[in-house]
Amino acid sequence: MHTQLPSPESSRPQIVVVDDMPANLRLLTDMLTKAGYLARPALNGKIALSSIRLNPPDVVLLDIVLPDISGYEVCQQLKADPNTSEIPIIFISAKTELFEKIKGFELGAVDYVGKPFEPQEVLLRVQTHVTIRRLQLQLQAQNLLLQEQNLRFRTLVEATLEGIILHDQGRIIDANQRAFDLFDTDRETMIEAVFSDFISEPFRASVAAMLTTNAEYPLEIEGQMRNGAPIPLEIYARRMAYQGRDIQIAVLRDLSWKKRIEAENTKLQRENLALKATNYERYRLGPIIGKSRRMQEVYELIAAAAASEFHVVISGESGTGKELVARTIHALSSRTNQPFVPVNCGAVTETIFEREFFGHRKGAFTGADRNAPGYFDAADQGTLFLDEIGELSFPMQVKLLRVLENREFTPVGGTMPRRVDARILAATNKRLPEMVRDGQFREDLFYRLHVMEIVVPPLRERREDIPLLLEALLQEYAPETPLPSAILDAFMRYDWPGNIREMQNRLQRYLATGRIDIPSVDLPPASTLSIAPLPPGIQLHDAVETLEAHLIRETLIRNKWRRVKTAEELGIPRRTLQRKVEKYGIFR
């Protein structure tokens, strides 16, 4: 129990003066009163004890020789009482022998003044002990407050559902019970252990980056329990002052329940996508065409990616349709009504990276006459497609990684960061793991992006899809033009180093010129090959119109639908050509 005493700001310091000599009593009380103290006289020990217990003073001036009980007895009783044990007692006595002083100090006195005394000396000693006593009481009050706050904080910490870990230089110095429960461990095992030992290996770099940058954002990671089992966690970390040190606090939330719900949602979404897929032909997924086993595997991965919010890396050779895969994922995802923003990373240089991706504020640089959004602004709530991600330089990779980790960026010339929610679909025709190994691509960015990977197979590895692709392309370019079997055979035999993009180009050139430059194939002009046989019994007038319509279409295709050139080649006015195009319904 602590001594109750008015604070120095609210009252004068109180001094109880105990002496059986009225003259000494009057001298001391007058001196103390003039010095600003509240002096309370007592002629014997019992009066002194009653007064002190009723209203504890700051200091007691106590004579040893008293008419009822000795000053030693008074001191002993005061020190035995928790309410008065800490009050400073100064003995004033004519007994100046050394053993008397020793006895007084042994009983708990803080000072000893011999009689006759010098008033100024007594006053200075009283002032010193009053100051010490007041500081002592203030310190006790502060300690009590700290103890109460610590108890309240510890109660709150233990009541929270999050695990809380304090660590210094990676070494755990304290944690709450919830943290022990999360990792299925105990205080003895966790305290003084290395914090990173409780994080699964693939996520340690991301957590280390978070702790290094003091980023105030949550990060989804995988923890590692004592038995090695993984546990999905959300971690939030920041620096704080603790006992004179700069330490870090990590708050961990168990995401097991969330992952279970997400797994159920993913299952339902996949089932929904499977039902949607029945609306297409067996060999299609949206605009993507292919019935081969390799493409069926791609379809499954696209469905899984569309049902999640994870970042995806789409890899494959040039011309395989990586952007089409990205657009399909976006179209089938929950972000389908939000923007899809494609970016060719190979065309972005270091000097314009921040301006292109983060936007800029008016006046940020010469020519910046207005605020302009960047790619992340445009893709907020939607999908950002980063084509040729492997072309980004290291400095650009660092800036991109910072946005992915913090989920915020600052426009060029701006001062306030902007939050962003954009899903990243990255495409590359390079082997990113090899680039990481060779030091050409940041490992932390790789792990941040490479949550899922979809490998789009080259055309030569799915030749059974070539007829389907050609049929779809012909429907787009020339729906009434059949493809000779010799051309189809040539397309089937060719290895297509440029994949679908090359196929589109060669087919368009064939339709325009009637010739194809695939090795071992040389065809006569298209007009002698692409005219369909006329049905038996057709009237001459109808046959002429059929051939005329066919000739006009073939000439338009060969001239890339340029009507002026087509009219000149056919030897008819442009207006006549226009009328016949409308008559026969010839459109692209």
Tokens of 471: 């049929």
Q: pLDDT at residue 528 above 70?
A: no
Query: Is 60 exceeded by the pLDDT of residue 16?
Result: yes
Dihedral (Cα; 393, 394, 396, 399), 10-degree rounding: 170
Beta-carbon contacts of residue 62 (< 8 Å; ≥ 6 apart)? 18, 48, 71, 74, 75, 89, 90, 91, 92, 109
pLDDT digits (tens, 9 = 90+) for 265-297: 767 766 665 555 454 445 778 889 998 999 999
- Inside any domain, residue 279: no
Q: Are residues 497 and 393 in the same domain?
A: no
Higher pLDDT residue, 520 or 486?
Answer: 486
Q: Which helix (H) or strand (E) holds 445?
A: helix 443-449
The dihedral formed by the CA atoms of 471, 473, 479 and 482, expressed in degrees to the nearest 10: -50
| Lowest-pLDDT range of 175-179, 213-217, 460-464 | 213-217
**Residue 118 lies inside a defined structural domain of this protein:** yes
**Boundary residue ending a domain (457, 489, 504):** 457
Rounded-to-integer distance, Cα 240 and Cα 218, Å: 17
Q: Are 98 and 174 members of one domain?
A: no
pLDDT classification of 509: cutoffs 50, 70, 90: confident
Which residue segment(s) compose the domain that 495 sits in? 460-513
In a domain, 355, yes or no: yes
Q: CATH number of the domain that 547 lies in? A: 1.10.10
What is the pLDDT confidence band of residue 156, given thresholds at 50, 70 and 90?
low
Comparing 265 with 448, the larger pLDDT belongs to: 448
Model pTM score: 0.48
Same structural domain, 448 and 473: no
User: Tens of pLDDT along 303-356?
Assistant: 999 999 999 999 999 999 999 999 999 999 999 999 999 999 989 999 899 989
- If one compares 155 and 260, the residue with the highest pLDDT of the two is 260
- 24, two tokens: 């000494």
| pLDDT confidence bin for 5, thresholds 50/70/90 | very low
Q: Which of 212, 239, 257 is the last residue of a domain?
A: 257
- The whole-number pLDDT of residue 479 equals 78
> Which of 104-108, 139-143, 201-205 shows the lowest per-residue confidence on average (mean pLDDT)?
139-143
* Tens-digit pLDDT profile for residues 248-258: 888 888 888 87
Check which CATH number belongs to the domain holding 362 and give it. Answer: 3.40.50.300
Looking at the structure, do residues 298 and 356 belong to the same domain, yes or no?
yes
Residue 76: per-residue pLDDT: 92
Regarding whether 484 and 444 lie in a shared domain, the answer is: no
Residue given tokens 């389908």 in the structure block: 336
For residue 380, being part of any structural domain is answered with yes
Contact 345/388 with Cβ under 8 angstroms? yes
109 & 198 share domain: no
**Helix (H, G, I), strand (E, B), or coil: what is residue 278?**
coil
- Residue ranges of alpha helices (H) inside 44-194 are 45-54, 71-80, 98-107, 119-159, 177-182, 187-190
By C-alpha distance, which of 559, 555, 493, 485 is closest to 523? 485
Domain for residue 529, yes or no?
no
**pLDDT category, 228, cuts 50, 70, 90?**
confident
pLDDT at 276 (0 to 100): 52
For residue 244, the model assigns a pLDDT of: 77
Using the predicted structure, report yes or no on whether residue 81 has a pLDDT greater than 50: yes
Maximum C-alpha span of the chain: 152
Tell me what the mean pLDDT of segment 490-502 comes to. Answer: 89
CATH number of domain containing 219: 3.30.450.20
User: Which pLDDT score, from 0 to 100, does residue 566 have?
Assistant: 86
**pLDDT reading at 529 higher than 60:** no
35 and 108 housed in the same domain? yes
Q: Is the CA virtual torsion 253, 257, 261, 264 positive or negative?
A: positive
Mean pLDDT check: name the lowest of 379-383, 422-426, 473-477: 473-477
Q: 2-29 b/e with 16+ CB inside 10 Å = b?
A: ebebeebeeeebbbbbbbbeeebbebbb
Within its chain, how far is the Cα of 153 from the centroid?
Answer: 26
Strands (E), 328-381: 340-344
* Number of separate domains in the chain: 5
Q: How confident is the model at residue 450 (pLDDT cuts 50, 70, 90)?
A: very high
pLDDT at 428 > cutoff 90: yes
Query: How far apart are alpha carbons 164 and 174 in whole angstroms?
Result: 8
Q: Is the CB of residue 57 less than 8 Å from the CB of residue 15?
A: yes
Is 438 found in the same domain as 291? yes
Q: In what order do the strands lie in the sheet with 423-428?
A: 340-344, 383-387, 423-428, 312-315, 452-455
In Å, how far are 253, 298, 307, 384 from 301, measured between CA atoms? 29, 5, 10, 19
Sequence-distant (6+) residues with CB within 8 A of 129 are 58, 59, 88, 90, 110, 111
SS3 for 39? strand
Residue 3 lies in a domain: no
State yes or no: pLDDT of 578 exceeds 50: yes
Q: Which helix (H) or strand (E) holds 447?
A: helix 443-449
- Establish if 269 belongs to a structural domain: no
Give the HSE-up count for residue 372: Cα atoms under 13 Å, Cβ half-sphere: 16
pLDDT grade, residue 59 (50/70/90)? very high
Measured CA to CA, the distance from residue 85 to residue 75 in angstroms comes to: 9
- pLDDT higher at 153 or 566: 566
Same domain, 579 and 508: no
Q: Which pLDDT tens digit goes with each residue over 88-98?
A: 999 988 887 88
What pLDDT score was predicted for residue 274?
57
Question: What confidence tier does 216 reach under pLDDT thresholds 50, 70, 90?
Answer: low
Indicate the residue among 413, 442, 457 that finishes a domain.
Answer: 457
Neighbours of 460 (CB within 10 A): 13
Residues 6+ apart with CB under 8 A from 130: 13, 15, 37, 58, 59, 88
Parallel/antiparallel/unpaired status of strands 38-42 and 14-18: parallel
Residue 433 has pLDDT above 80, yes or no: yes
Give the β-pairing of 163-168 and 171-175. Answer: antiparallel
State the chain's mean pLDDT as an integer. Answer: 84
Confidence class for position 452, pLDDT limits 50, 70, 90: very high
Could you tell me if 448 and 486 lie in one domain?
Answer: no
Please indicate, yes or no, whether residues 339 and 253 belong to a single structural domain of this protein.
no
Same structural domain, 169 and 136:
no
Q: Where are the alpha helices (DSSP H) in 37-118?
A: 45-54, 71-80, 98-107
Asked whether residue 359 carries a pLDDT value surpassing 80, the answer given is yes
Strands 230-242 and 245-254: antiparallel
